[in-house]
Amino acid sequence: MAVKNLLAKNKLEDFKSWLVGDGAKIEATKGYYQLLRFRYPNDSKPHIIYDSHNPMYLSLENRTAPIVRRFLRSNKINSISEM
């Protein structure tokens, strides 16, 4: 299954930066619809973020959703602390 309403398209570059800081390695994408491919050192296969037909959100695998949720929570905490 895919999660299609969690990561906004305008957050992709922020997510990439966060991933590198979190220890993930960005890999080269394969195919037209792959926008981001990354892997943590202990992952046996990569996590992939896809473009979707939704104008606002990207599509991702269920197993990638917890990572995106950690990113979103960390951004929410950082936004609050900057106030």
Q: Give tens-digit pLDDT for 33-70.
A: 999 999 999 999 999 999 988 899 999 999 999 999 99
In this predicted structure, the answer to whether residue 77 has a pLDDT above a threshold of 70 is no
pTM to 2 decimal places: 0.88
The CATH number of the domain holding residue 32 is: 3.30.310
Note down the domain range covering 68: 2-81
Length of the chain: 83
Structure confidence at residue 38 (pLDDT): 98
> Which candidate, 33, 30, 31, places its Cα nearest to that of 54?
33
Q: How many domains does the chain have?
A: 1
